[in-house]
Amino acid sequence: MDTKELTLAVRNYALRLGFDACGFAKAEFLETEARRLEEWLNQNRHGTMRWMEDHFDKRTDPTLLVPGSKTVVSVIASYFHPVHKTQQQQSEVPKIAKYAQGKDYHKVFKNKLKKLFEHITFLVGSVEGRYFVDSAPVLDKAWAVRSGLGWLGKNSNLLNKNLGSFFFIGELIIDVNFSYSAPETDHCGTCTQCIDACPTDAIYEPYRVDSNKCISYLTIELKDQIPKELQSNLGEWMYGCDICQDVCPWNTKAKAAQLTDLYPREKILDKKADFWNEINGKEYDELFEGSAVRRAKFEKFKMNAAIVKQNIAAKS
């Protein structure tokens, strides 16, 4: 099997596994991305996420993370569901970001990527490498761009013509050569809807986000109380935020998820503010078992719920 045939075979198998797209890029040092990341870190735009400073060399060069690697194989899969369109119109219901409403994608993707890795091994023999789902110092969006799966939008999310931006990314970094994909060009044009819609002005310039102001960061990663001056800007967002994605014109074409594990859990939909403020730790654990929401501990979640309840009350 030649390189072109192997590339086609692996891409087709990835699609059969339920991924929506699969691309291939040469494993090499990310010079431009390294320079931008270093500048962003030096400006302290990552807030309290100090882990982003760790393993900088490996983060920007996959051949250091996986010695002998030749290719980064990137895959994406939608988590969008038709019920999300209704949620976008709700103004008096606490909101959880779409990506966190189903099963934890880390678990879903790892199982699929393991099967993809095993299939490549079956096709070519011995393979050295690793698979990743936001689990190591890998610049997944940069690799997805280089793999032809989309372009980086002005809100710093990956955009795809067919899927919009409501999808997850995973990678294989392996010592196998493939036919490499051509990077996608930028199709944001003069649009600034994501920048204009952000209530905290977190998108401080096109393609740059200040985590210190981002609602997703404030409601998930920030362990301390959210600054008083930013609390009203949360609106109904109790965990994460989709505002800059909801307004993106490319998301009017968002494709529904194929992987049913990523569908929203009915038991967490359409619950009022009182419900979230009254749950106890045991109920929280039961509701979000196997969910990405568990990244925010119970105490943090309850702090967010209290702020959102206050915001909703202030509007009525």
Residues identified as active-site: 134
Tally Cβ neighbours within 10 Å of residue 114.
12
φ, ψ (nearest 5 deg) of residue 119: -70, -40
Q: How many CA atoms lie within 13 A of 217 on its CB side?
A: 17
Q: Which residues contact 273 (CB under 8 A, 6 or more apart)?
A: 93, 94, 305, 308, 309, 312, 313
- Quote the CA–CA distance of 78 and 222 in Å, as a whole number: 27
Tell me if 204 sits within 8 A of 171, measured CB to CB: no
Q: Which amino acid is at 22?
A: C
